[in-house]
Structure 1
Amino acid sequence: MEYYTGADYKGISGRKRKTSLRKKRAVRRRRRRIYAGMLLLLAAGIFLGAKTLIPGIMQTGEGRVLQLLNSAVQEEYPQELLEMLQRNEETYEFVANYPNREQFLGQVIDVSDVCKEEKIPLLLQWDLRWGYDNYSGSMIGTAGCGPTCMAMAYLGLTGDTQMNPRNMAEYAQKNKYSTEAGTSWSFFTEGAAGLGLCGRELPLSENVMKQALDLGNVIICSMRPGDFTTTGHFILLRGYDERGFFVNDPNSRKNSEKQWDFETLSGQIKCLWEISSD
């Protein structure tokens, strides 16, 4: 994005000057909308108590947000990350540490601890250990819900802790299952087979879904805009009881701590796949 100083304008034709001014005004308007939304979140107090790894940032909601906004003015943060934070305060640490992302890239990843806690572990796409890695023209943290769901399924069904979200994203890209829009649906059938798993599309039926889960398998769902996303998203279903389905949402701990009834989920599911180890 181009920015011009007062001196620069002297050498710009009238038409170019008007164009550049329009661009600058548009940028300012976008930033004002983002800042206004974030300040509303601040007023609601949702950032209180969050932690960050950036040295020197005040450990109060106001201090953190003001520091982040100041950095945003200096263009240290992509707009998509600021919008991500505006939608989901859980991503604060991931967004705040974007300028320090190099220290996380390429680090050894060990997910054996979470695999011991749950049969199907909850992994978050914006985890600092892999969230900044490239995926689908962006990064796992913003576009990697598909490979993160498949990593959860693979870890839970095989017990092999080597296939973390970073490695799963690399597998998806190498085999052309990643697209400009995110992750191809064939990743959950053909891609699953390449991993030694079995993936098959299911009808949107509560009984069929429960039967698949009763067998110890998992279900990955492609979601419409609604409770889980404003655009498109993948989530994983790992079980159910009389209160509803247990969800692993790779973008939200809060959503993963709830149970979801079939009526709520079914209106938002575009497609779903049973993933099994045979």
Structure 2
Amino acid sequence: MPEEKSSQGSSPVEKGAQAANAVRGAVKTGKAIAGAAKGAAAGGPYGAVAGLVWGNRHLIGKIILITVFIMLLPVLFILMLPALIFGGLVDAFTPDDPTVPVLNDSAYITENMTDITNSVSGVLSEALEDILKEIEDDFASSTADQREIINPHENAPAYNANAFVSQFCASKNEDFESITFADMESTLRSAKGELYSYTSKEETRTRVETTVTVDSGTGKETETSTTVTEDWIVYTIVYNGEDYFADHVFHLDAEQKELSNNYAQNLSVFLGDGMFQRLPNGYEAIGSLGDIKFTDGDTEVVYFNQLDERYADKPYGTDDIGGYGCGPTAMAIVVSSLTEDIVDPVEMARWSYEHGYWASGNGSYHGLIPAAAEAWELPVEGCGKDGGQKISDALSGGKLVVALMDEGHFTNSGHFIVLRGVRNGKILVADPASYERSEQEWDLSIILDEAREGAAAGGPFWIIG
């Protein structure tokens, strides 16, 4: 085997990439990558090592090379993530400079993801235009008088690019070396006719038509009202969703679907946009809390709880609000408290989905918070974990602050809460998953310490109002 050389100043990622380059010949099947992805989802990078080695124990003589670099774990993200974002799995180096590991070139990865997202969005937009043309053709061939089109995707196609990337990579199975951006785009485009469908129903509507006549002699106006009956066709556009593509376009089997889900979750975490915002499996809804307002802070706050039986089992994309809807529920609290609109979690979840901020199986993309604030014309400003005084001043001034929390007092995974005021030097919160925690006072240091590191969209705090 050629001698591997490294300088003393080489970064762990550079050394790790060399290790990946050395052992890549041993990792030749999709199942090998599946083992790493499963391990990563279960136990982080060390879990990825365990998953890779255990899943390929018959190759242990070759895979053992990885253990030489066991402390150089960043390279394992190549095995934990869909290869497409790195431009392929086999080469761990950027194409422009074979000495620079892909993981050391964030601009390269960002460019890849931007191209992928733009491509998916473009294909979706084309598919939406196609389905609208189908509707026009269907109406033209009918005998109906009028038509109405209900299009929840008019403002922006709702999709999960991470899911498409992950499904495509998982579908390659043992042919993962052929993974390319062009191939994925071609696959999506060839099946764009399956992205959307529509339903239609016929109904009869009546309207009153008023006619004004003027007497030529007296100039007096006379109004005559006539009831007009019309036949209408109401069309509703349906996005068939990523699950449909998994079954009918990428044709994933059960094992590939599991791999795809692990890929998508790992990718969301790696990109820092969309993390695990979900309650543990087996959560229980609570009875209706009724109308609750907190008046003990600087701003009167309308409170909603995602576990309230009125909202818990309502849809958030293909998930539900009870398990995954802390983001929409937090913004329902903010919008209902700072504007004249009362927007409940169901309405906010629908808005989030329709505008592309639902992250399948993960909760919400972090961009939901500033986007919803701006949609309801509320000033919003991102703030980092070093902005404790700024947060306190904002709360004392009557503003609200959405915080993205990591593992700790508020969650064991990820969770959006609302900071709603200051009392006795302590922080008051509106926790979308706990009325009990919402009645307590909290040290600001706890909230700052447990806020999410590396949150996207300007977080982990957003000052609103």
Question: Does TM-score exceed 0.5, indicating one fold?
Answer: yes
Partner residue, 2:423: 241
Counterpart CA distance in 1 for 2:437 and 2:346 is 23
Larger relative strand fraction: 2
Q: Is 1:258 the counterpart of 2:440 in the alignment? A: yes
Partner residue, 1:126: 307
> Could you tell me how far 1:159 is from its partner in structure 2?
3.0
Specify whether residues 155 and 244 from structure 1 end up closer, same or farther in structure 2 by C-alpha distance, changes over 3 A only: same
- Preserved contact between residue 125 and residue 141 of structure 1 (Cα < 8 Å): yes
Partner residue, 2:397: 215
- Note the residue ranges of structure 2 that are not aligned, 5 or more in a row: 1-277, 453-459
> Could you tell me how far 1:263 is from its partner in structure 2?
1.4
Q: 2:319 aligns with which of 138, 147, 150?
A: 138
Q: Deviations over 1:63-89 (max 9, x none)?
A: xxxxxxxxxxxxxxxxx988444xxxx
Counterpart CA distance in 2 for 1:250 and 1:147 is 9
Q: Is 1:275 the counterpart of 2:464 in the alignment? A: yes
Opposite residue 138 of structure 1, the aligned amino acid is: D
> Could you tell me how far 1:266 is from its partner in structure 2?
1.1
Opposite residue 173 of structure 1, the aligned amino acid is: Y
Q: 1:114 aligns with which of 292, 302, 316?
A: 292
Q: Tell me, what secondary structure is at the counterpart of 1:267?
A: helix
- Preserved contact between residue 115 and residue 155 of structure 1 (Cα < 8 Å): no
Q: 1:200 aligns with which of 377, 381, 396?
A: 381
Which structure has the larger Rg over C-alpha atoms? 2
Counterpart CA distance in 2 for 1:238 and 1:223 is 15
> Could you tell me how far 1:214 is from its partner in structure 2?
2.2
> Could you tell me how far 1:194 is from its partner in structure 2?
1.5
The two structures, once aligned, show a CA RMSD in angstroms of 2.5
Opposite residue 166 of structure 1, the aligned amino acid is: V
Opposite residue 447 of structure 2, the aligned amino acid is: L
Counterpart CA distance in 2 for 1:81 and 1:235 is 13
Counterpart CA distance in 2 for 1:165 and 1:121 is 12
> Could you tell me how far 1:243 is from its partner in structure 2?
4.0
The count of corresponding residues between Structure 1 and Structure 2 is 176
> Could you tell me how far 1:215 is from its partner in structure 2?
2.2
Specify whether residues 150 and 92 from structure 1 end up closer, same or farther in structure 2 by C-alpha distance, changes over 3 A only: closer
> Could you tell me how far 1:198 is from its partner in structure 2?
2.2
Counterpart CA distance in 1 for 2:279 and 2:332 is 23
Q: 1:173 aligns with which of 345, 353, 356?
A: 353
Describe how 1:1-278 pairs up with structure 2 within 5 A.
83-85=281-283, 91=284, 93=286, 113-115=291-293, 119-161=300-342, 163-180=343-360, 181-204=362-385, 205-270=387-452, 271-276=460-465
- Note the residue ranges of structure 1 that are not aligned, 5 or more in a row: 1-79, 86-90, 95-103, 105-109
Q: Deviations over 1:33-66 (max 9, x none)?
A: xxxxxxxxxxxxxxxxxxxxxxxxxxxxxxxxxx
State which drifts further: 198-207 or 214-223: 198-207
> Could you tell me how far 1:275 is from its partner in structure 2?
1.3
Specify whether residues 182 and 215 from structure 1 end up closer, same or farther in structure 2 by C-alpha distance, changes over 3 A only: same
- Preserved contact between residue 279 and residue 324 of structure 2 (Cα < 8 Å): no
TM-score (norm 2): 0.36
Q: Which aligned runs of 4 or more in structure 1 are off by greater than 4 angstroms?
A: 115-118
Q: Tell me, what secondary structure is at the counterpart of 1:124?
A: coil
